[in-house]
Amino acid sequence: MRVADIHGIIPPILTPMNEDESLNLDELRRQIERQLEGGVHGLFAFGTNGEGYILSENEKYAVLEAMIDQVKGRVPVYAGTGCISTNDTIRQSVQAEKMGADVLSIITPSFAAASQKELYDHYVKVAMKVNVPIVLYNIPARTGNKLLPETVARLAKDVDVIMGAKDSSGDWENLQAYIRLTQDLPKDFRVLSGNDSLILPSLKAGGAGGIAGCANVYPHVLASIYDLFKAGKLEEAQVAQDSIASFRAVFKFGNPNTIVKKAVKALGYPVGECRSPFNYLCDEGMEMLLKVLEENRARGMN
């Protein structure tokens, strides 16, 4: 199996687009360098913040090719290859491995309700076709299917290439259960927080870091949460964790990844809008966003 160190802050990097909603791969490369300069520990292609849900298969491959070429092995590259069907997930996972992705992040199938047996079987079938680490991805609010801690533990125990899990449920008890039920395995299974407000708590509980959408806006701040924690500077890590609360408060006005992309655009980067129809933010929300960005700029956040 290809080895990758799953840890730290891994931004689900946004996908820059032109005014006609086509990919802007030149700006993607600039955003990759901005993230790396901020000290992030990995990069995740076409996650939720990367609008993987609305990109075509060929667009995903174009994004991944550009990312792998730009990163040049400096940090692990994660590829989101989960689809609704098992066969589609296998095809995209195999292709991402061939292209050089270091880790596959595989979201649960969506829309149709799936039993835990069906989810288990889905992941086993995909895992049989690849030889690269897999991180399970639980985000039931978006998919409608919850990957239970017991299922995660069973998959972690039974399948060699399943090396981690990302929990974006926002349910602290669920995240803790992922950690608790996998911490005594003979392999080093890593649990990542998909909720940016739970990064430091999860690290304290034995987690390995987070796939942090807010790092698109504040890469240095998010990366510092992990770095300060590992250095034993817990009070400073807490300050960094708390500093993103005002930005996250803007999420009450709309889709978080829409707000993240508008924030990066407001910072002066030509990343475009999210692909239609998911690109609206009301005037009150935009006003609050700009106010928060200015306040955080004055505080030196980047």
Q: Which of 137, 178, 218, 226 is catalytic?
A: 137
The CATH number assigned to the domain with range 8-243 reads 3.20.20.70
Strand order in the sheet with 77-80: 8-9, 209-210, 190-193, 162-167, 134-138, 103-107, 77-80, 43-45
**168-224, pLDDT tens digit by residue?**
999 999 999 999 999 999 999 999 999 999 999 999 999 999 999 999 999 999 999
pLDDT at 4: 83
How much of the chain, in percent, has pLDDT values that exceed 90? 98
CA gap 15, 272 in Å, rounded: 9
Work out the average pLDDT over 112-141: 98
Among 172, 132, 177, 126, smallest CA distance to 153 is for 177
Among 144, 111, 105, smallest CA distance to 126 is for 105
pLDDT at 206: 97
Strand ranges in the chain using DSSP code E only, listed in sequence order: 8-9, 43-45, 77-80, 103-107, 134-138, 162-167, 190-193, 209-210
Q: Quickly state the pLDDT bin for 2 (edges 50, 70, 90).
A: confident
Show me where the domains of the chain are located.
Answer: 8-243
Question: The pTM is what?
Answer: 0.96
Place of tokens 């299922």: 151
What six digits make up the tokens of 98? Answer: 């061939």
pLDDT at 282: 97
Averaged confidence pLDDT in the chain: 97
CA gap 21, 287 in Å, rounded: 24
pLDDT at 40: 98
Q: Is 137 a catalytic residue?
A: yes
Q: Is 60 a catalytic residue?
A: no
pLDDT at 1: 72
pLDDT at 247: 98
Residues 6+ apart with CB under 8 A from 200: 225, 229, 237, 238, 241
Q: Which of 60, 61, 120, 166 is catalytic?
A: 166
